Amino acid sequence: MDPWPFRHLVLRTPRLELRPDDDEGLLELVEEAHHGIHPPDQMPFGVGWSDTPAEDLGRTMLQHHWRVRAELTAAKWTLNFLVRFDGRVIGTQGIGAEDFAVTGEVHTGSWVGLRHQGKGIGTEMRAAVLVFAFDHLGATRARSSAWSENAKSLGVSRKLGYVDDGTQRVTRRGQASDDVRLLLTHDRFIRPAWTLEVAGSSGCLGLLTQGEPAE
């Protein structure tokens, strides 16, 4: 039995390679974050981690990814895929679930380095994990969210078939903001024209799909 089968998992699209995070790749992710993630006057994330001072950003990013990796269980899991373009890490695409064996539902979250935005990469990497979720994990629904003024993120979701599923008023940088909830069902998924290549999944699927419900 491989104690960490996720190290073999890889998703490939025409331009991208997605692998669950590893320490060497996380150092590349930190380097990309220091090149910029979003304009300073914007905050696309629900948790404002990118406001962390530069001298602490790398350490807190590593600690976050280590914590998520360490807490993975069959009942509640998140895989943070490192996204590589031309062999270099340029961002991360997360997918997670709670009580997946019962709900059949996943959620996603991601970011791409600012210097790589505007090339359709965000759509391609989200489509990759959605194909993996629907076709390999057997998911029936996927959720995402974005701030009401985040046209780029909302555009990615709507391109893939998500529909609005309500809003939530929350605090962001001390101000009230509207978070738009988005829902995608298997039958509404607008699939990419390309075929996803998946390797190394056999040792992972059982843990992700057949866990006991959380208490």
pTM above 0.85?
Answer: yes
Residue 70 backbone phi and psi in degrees, to 5? -70, -30
* DSSP β-ladder status, 197-199 and 10-12: antiparallel
Q: How far is 68 from 89, CA to CA, in rounded Å?
A: 19
Q: How far is 99 from 34, CA to CA, in rounded Å?
A: 35
- pLDDT digit string, tens, across residues 25-47: 999 999 999 998 887 877 677 67
Q: Could you tell me the pLDDT band of residue 160, with boundaries at 50, 70 and 90?
A: very high
DSSP assignment letter at 50:
G
Q: Could you tell me the pLDDT band of residue 71, with boundaries at 50, 70 and 90?
A: very high
Q: List domains and CATH numbers for the chain.
A: 5-209 (3.40.630.30)
17 has a pLDDT exceeding 70: yes
